[in-house]
Amino acid sequence: MFSVEERGRIQRRLLHLAEQDPGVVAAITGSHATNDEDRWSDIDLAFGVS
């Protein structure tokens, strides 16, 4: 299990990597997208790849 800080670092890293690749589109979904996350929330990301 990850701490809240680790979860944030992982999410930021994944989004950074997606931003570096022009063939990837990323979207944050789930509780983080609706500001309903808590310490038990997971990382919900969707990736589109061309």
Identify the pLDDT of residue 26.
86
- Is the per-residue pLDDT at 2 higher than 90? no
d(CA 23, CA 50): 5
The residue extents of the domains of the chain are: 4-49
Q: What is the pLDDT of residues 8-43, one digit of tens each?
A: 999 999 999 999 999 998 888 999 889 899 999 999
Q: What's the pTM value of the predicted model, to 2 decimals?
A: 0.80
Q: Residue 7 has what pLDDT?
A: 92
Note the pLDDT of residue 1.
Answer: 78
pLDDT at position 4 is 92
Q: Is 30 exposed, middle or buried, given 0-12, 13-18 or 19+ CB atoms closer than 10 A?
A: middle
Using an 8 Å Cβ cutoff, are 45 and 26 in contact? yes
